[in-house]
Structure 1
Amino acid sequence: MTGHRHDALLVDLDGTVYAGPAAIPGAVEALEAARGRGLTVSYVTNNASRAPGAVSEHLAELGLTVTEEDVVTSAQAGAAVLAGQVEPGAPVLVLGTEALADEIRGVGLTPVRADDDGPVAVVQGHSPDTGWRQLAEAALTLARGAVWVACNVDPTLPSERGLLPGNGSMVAALRHASRREPQVAGKPATPLLRQAMERVGSTTPLVVGDRLDTDIAGGNAVGAESLLVLTGVSTAADLLAAPSDQRPTYVAADLVALADVEAVRVGADDGWTAKVHDDGSLELAASAAGDDDREDRVAALRALCTAHWEAVGDEGGAPAVRGGDDAARRVLSSLGLGADR
């Protein structure tokens, strides 16, 4: 990242650094190179299922230079949110893993697992073992007016097999049953990112991730620039249709772009021309396509975003897209856009 425009990288994990247990190609090398240039790298995850130590061990196994202090989780943020609202030592019903229970313990509260234990709050984080019985205990607690904090509301969780139900899907079940709305600690709400910024003393971070509705919206919520990588959940079509609060500063194929993030800024001259027609449709044409097919198609996407976002304003929405030449049509097909996709 030339010029050190940012004083820290706040990097998402699932879908950004790894998919399942395996690193995304190029991610480890790009992050190590950023550290070598003097940038602080923090790993900020909405996944509340694992302790920071377990996450840092996994990252170290992938080849990253990392300590437990470099990892900030939504479980930590959720525990901090609760600690500011209930009395020290108060019982909190934990709907999640033991790692989440440990974070509740760490802020001086008492984790419990049943409504009979008199909890004054519910904290909910992802666990693959959450089922009806756990949700039922939480519903009983919420019916008594308890404080409810969701570590995150991500509807899906990326894996090497595809998208799996995330914590947000379980939150939705409890929301429907209780007719209550939780406070949210993770992205796009601000507690998690603010905690990460405070930990490293950052004032101009770059928020990096694969999801528009969490990573990018979260970066915008704390007034930070953001980089979307197309290695996880959000697609080219999602990006093009995004409302203003989910639009990133930079867009790239993957974390390799950290070497020169200004080169992937939305609005830069990328060698593509996008024209908005009177009916709101977009036409893409190649003016000076590059040598790297992968980056070239993302350059085309940035050109489309620049034209479309300027035309539609804050609301967003999906436009019709067509290619004005063979190169443009090929790129649109590879992005899943255009009439011939």
Structure 2
Amino acid sequence: MSERLVDAYDLVIFDLDGVIYLIDRPIAGAVEAVGELHRAGVRLAYATNNASRRSAEVADLLAGLGVPADAGEVVTSAGASAAVLAQRLPLGSKVLVVGAEALRAEVRDAGMEPVSRAEDRPVAVVQGYGPQVGWADLAEAAVAIRGGAQWVATNTDRTLPSPRGPLPGNGSLVAALRTALGREPDLVVGKPEPGLFATAARRVGAVRPLVVGDRLDTDIEGAVRAGMDSLLVLTGVSGPADLVAAPPERRPTFVAPDLAGLFDAAGAATVPPGEVDGWRLETEQREGDAHLAGQGSAIDALRLLCGLAWSGGDVTKVTPDTPAARDALHALGLA
């Protein structure tokens, strides 16, 4: 029996939004997949850029969905940002918090005083996602930053996956301040910075972790920066067209439709593949056109097309030579 993909690793680090759940609804098959890993004794961790919940709250949410987890397995950008500020600032420093109550609580527990007005003269502004963040919050942050406060962003995700499709994420709100101030944040803590993944691995002494995420620009790039292998699942933000066009720093080691890919043979998820049963990609040297022929799964066709694109080929010139190839290209949105 071929070794399963997960068997080669001593820790699996999951992103949450778009991988395990969407806002608060479990993604099909995710609870079952994580449950199987637990029963097999695989060490797990969760690393999220979403700063609207504390580690214990995330663990409670997961448990409520049927995923056993404890706070020690969860690393959030809110907690990491508060820890960074505590290293940079004197105890008791005032920090203007733009975000959810979870971020305020993390700042408070790290020994600083969370405030909400520029007139309180904060020495730093920390900005994270919060569903109630509005213009007044951004205005106070702008005034404080212009007054000399350090500006720390928990993350810069442009969107947040949801059952209704992508919604504005913290990066969209950071962009509003960036436009108003004409400058970048002094520090971005969350993914694609490698800190969350490094912290998760360090907590359990893992030497060969696997990162599982749905976003090329945060999860996968963060894994590349951390020197870790990664699995992209197509249940969240990044899709087939994004993967084909991915630059080297955002290319995953593996790709799968969902978390069931963890239990496939590693060779069935490697991207680009060494070979793919059922599909043939024939390139015309003179024109650079290519033909997809044969039949098989759409995900295997995607892996093959990534090999073409990542070696300099033009996927837009690929034409189907069989009905199955045509259906695969349509399913992938690459027709």
Cα drift, residue 191 of structure 1: 2.0
How many residue pairs get aligned? The number is 327
| Structure 1 residues 319 and 81, CA gap change in structure 2 (3 angstroms) | farther
Q: Distance in 2 between matches of 1:41 and 1:319?
A: 39
Superposed CA offset, 1:208-262 (max 9, x none):
0111111101100100000000011111001000100010000000001111351
Q: Equivalences for 1:1-341 in 2 at 5 Å?
A: 1=4, 4-182=7-185, 183-260=187-264, 262=266, 263-266=268-271, 267-271=273-277, 272-278=279-285, 279-286=287-294, 289=296, 296-311=297-312, 319-338=316-335
Conserved 8 A contact 1:276-1:307:
no
Cα drift, residue 67 of structure 1: 0.9
Q: Distance in 1 between matches of 2:50 and 2:284?
A: 42
Cα drift, residue 181 of structure 1: 1.1
Conserved 8 A contact 1:237-1:318:
no
Cα drift, residue 66 of structure 1: 0.8
Query: Match of 1:226, SS?
Result: strand
Query: Match of 1:311, SS?
Result: coil
**Greater shift in the superposed pair: 268-277 or 54-63:** 268-277
Conserved 8 A contact 1:241-1:319:
no
Q: Distance in 2 between matches of 1:112 and 1:160?
A: 33
Identity of aligned residues (%): 49
Query: Match of 2:44, SS?
Result: strand
Structure 2 unaligned residues grouped into runs of 5+: none
Conserved 8 A contact 1:280-1:319:
no
Q: Which amino acid aligns with 2:330?
A: S
Q: Distance in 2 between matches of 1:277 and 1:109?
A: 64
Query: Match of 1:84, SS?
Result: helix
Conserved 8 A contact 2:234-2:257:
yes
| Structure 1 residues 281 and 45, CA gap change in structure 2 (3 angstroms) | farther
Q: Distance in 2 between matches of 1:220 and 1:253?
A: 20
Cα drift, residue 318 of structure 1: 6.4
Conserved 8 A contact 1:8-1:205:
yes
Conserved 8 A contact 1:194-1:222:
yes
Superposed CA offset, 1:123-152 (max 9, x none):
110011111110011001111222111111
Q: Which amino acid aligns with 1:305?
A: C
Superposed CA offset, 1:102-143 (max 9, x none):
111222221111111111111110011111110011001111
Q: Distance in 2 between matches of 1:239 and 1:281?
A: 20
TM-score by length of 1: 0.91
Structure 1 unaligned residues grouped into runs of 5+: 290-295
Q: Which amino acid aligns with 1:264?
A: A
Cα drift, residue 78 of structure 1: 1.2
Superposed CA offset, 1:39-67 (max 9, x none):
21111111001121221111111111111
| Structure 1 residues 331 and 40, CA gap change in structure 2 (3 angstroms) | same
| Structure 1 residues 38 and 276, CA gap change in structure 2 (3 angstroms) | farther
